[in-house]
Structure 1
Amino acid sequence: MEKNRKYLWGLMSFFVGLCSCAGSEEGARYEQLYRSDWGGGIDSRLVIQAPQGAISVVENPVQHRSMLKVVVHRSDDFSGVANGTPRGEIAFAKIFRYSLGKTYDVNWSTLIPDDYRFDSLQPELFSQILQGKNAGLGSPPFSIRFVDGKYEVEIRNARDAKANVFTFGNPQADKGKLVRWRLLYRPDSTGRDAVTDLYMNDIKVVHCSGCGNAYENDNDAYFKIGIYKWWWKTRPSDVNVRSLYFGDVDVKSY
């Protein structure tokens, strides 16, 4: 009996040590890629794609901490902005790019103003991963947007590929509240090694198992936050101004 107890105790100790070792190895692979602090201003490495004065740092109206504020008007001149398309975005392309085979843990937050009016006639995107130039044109492999009074995520692996679409939440009810986002993302066009898990206020709202979530052989995709309203100048819309707040961004890779 005593011999059996010693054997079981030794076996348990072995597995405890094994788990601790695995945790330590995971920690050793951890790399902090970026951590913003809007209170210190806008990092000079960030690429601003917006009309003059559309992006600024202001005090968070809820928590009284610094946030990024994006304001664009339908009447703005977007001719000097990326592709001449209505947007007010910040790109992280000069800070990090998504490499195949790595897992990325991206955390940020949004705040919808109390007076925000949702467009009932067309969507608008507020966070995305955009494919690199060598991957060609097309819709982003990952994006979060407002559509028909809901949050909507699209995930795809090619320009003409049918997107995997996830709809959830109630943005109207989130007005005036800080919404925390966390994206666990490992790019893979085939889907075999892909990870696309999105959390909203610590609740998983998207899990796309086996979904191709990147353009083929693309190691240059990058993260963007802001407002992107691609049909604003060409299709009917019932809003003339867009304004959103964005909290600090934290990015790690494994």
Structure 2
Amino acid sequence: MKGIKLFIWVCLLVPGWAAHAQVFPLRWTDPATSALASTFTTIKSSDWQNGLGSLSGIQSPSADNVTIVNDPLAEGRQVAQVYIRSDQNYSQVDNGSPRAEMVFSGDVKFVQGQDYLVRWSTYIPTSYAFAPKLLMVITQIHQSALAGSPPVELDINGSDYVVSIRGGSGGTESKQICCAAQDQGKWINWALRYVPDASGVHASTQLWKDGVAVFGTQGVPNAYPGDNDSYLKMGVYLLSSFQGLSQITLLFGPVTIGQH
């Protein structure tokens, strides 16, 4: 039935890698945000080494759209792979839009007035084909309501990233971040400091890309009135057509949510 979310509840799909795994030289998180992260208490994390068990659900047409695969840059390490295909049936996915998203709800909700730090990593495969009019959400803080635009959203729009925030009685503040096309074949580390507040009085939204501040607002509403149940999602949510592409694939590294 169109318009109904299809949540595929997942368990540990891939056994944990050996407990004595070696330490790889490739960074998972940027040292420029490590000092900040040390001041937050971790309330949720996953490095995908024990499968998808940290998720509360997957929103996609099939469980196969989100899987654990080997890191293309580090032998023995595992990451989350998310893809969508143009020939799949999305009628049972929320609003019928092509998407495959990992849902971090359940025990982690973003309460207004609290201070959070979300860290994650993205990898655009070398086979990824950029299209000028292709627009997709890759990470979002989603409001508790099923409909509407998310209060925080990170997109790939053509060959660039775009970050947007929304809240209060309406309005959107966005910024284009150059350049996704230069990030193919390497891990990119993101950090979002998020103090949600629908009134804007205490609201703060700060985004770092590989330790460099790329977006920041203070006093701009970034949550909807009365909503203390927003949650984290990431994956691929297509807002345009496939632009002639048959498949879109992204990889995601470790995810950590901290709270002051």
TM class, shorter-chain normalised?
Answer: 0.7 to 0.9
The verdict on how the C-alpha distance between 1:165 and 1:44 changes in structure 2, with shifts beyond 3 A counting, is closer
Matched-pair contact (CA < 8 Å) for 1:121–1:238 = no
* Structure 2: distance between partners of 1:104 and 1:240: 37
Deviation of the 1:78 alpha carbon? 1.3
Superposed CA RMSD: 2.1
Counterpart pick for 1:40 among 47, 50, 68: 50
Partner of residue 19, structure 2: none
Q: Which is further off, 150-159 or 239-248?
A: 150-159
Partner of residue 91, structure 2: 79
Q: Which is further off, 202-211 or 113-122?
A: 113-122
Deviation of the 1:82 alpha carbon? 2.6
TM-score, normalization by structure 2: 0.80
Within 5 Å, give how 1:1-254 maps onto structure 2.
30-43=40-53, 45-52=55-62, 53-64=64-75, 65-133=77-145, 137-157=147-167, 161-232=170-241, 237-254=243-260
Matched-pair contact (CA < 8 Å) for 1:138–1:158 = no
The verdict on how the C-alpha distance between 1:44 and 1:110 changes in structure 2, with shifts beyond 3 A counting, is closer
* Structure 1: distance between partners of 2:250 and 2:216: 26
Structure with higher Rg: it is 1
TM-score, normalization by structure 1: 0.82
* Structure 2: distance between partners of 1:97 and 1:165: 24
SS of the counterpart of 1:238? coil
Q: Which is further off, 36-45 or 70-79?
A: 36-45
* Structure 2: distance between partners of 1:230 and 1:182: 24
Number of residue pairs aligned between Structure 1 and Structure 2: 223
Matched-pair contact (CA < 8 Å) for 1:118–1:239 = no
Higher share of residues assigned helix: 1
Gaps of at least 5 residues in structure 1 are 1-25
What is the percentage of aligned positions where both structures have the same residue?
A: 31
SS of the counterpart of 1:208? strand
Gaps of at least 5 residues in structure 2 are 1-35
Matched-pair contact (CA < 8 Å) for 1:96–1:222 = yes
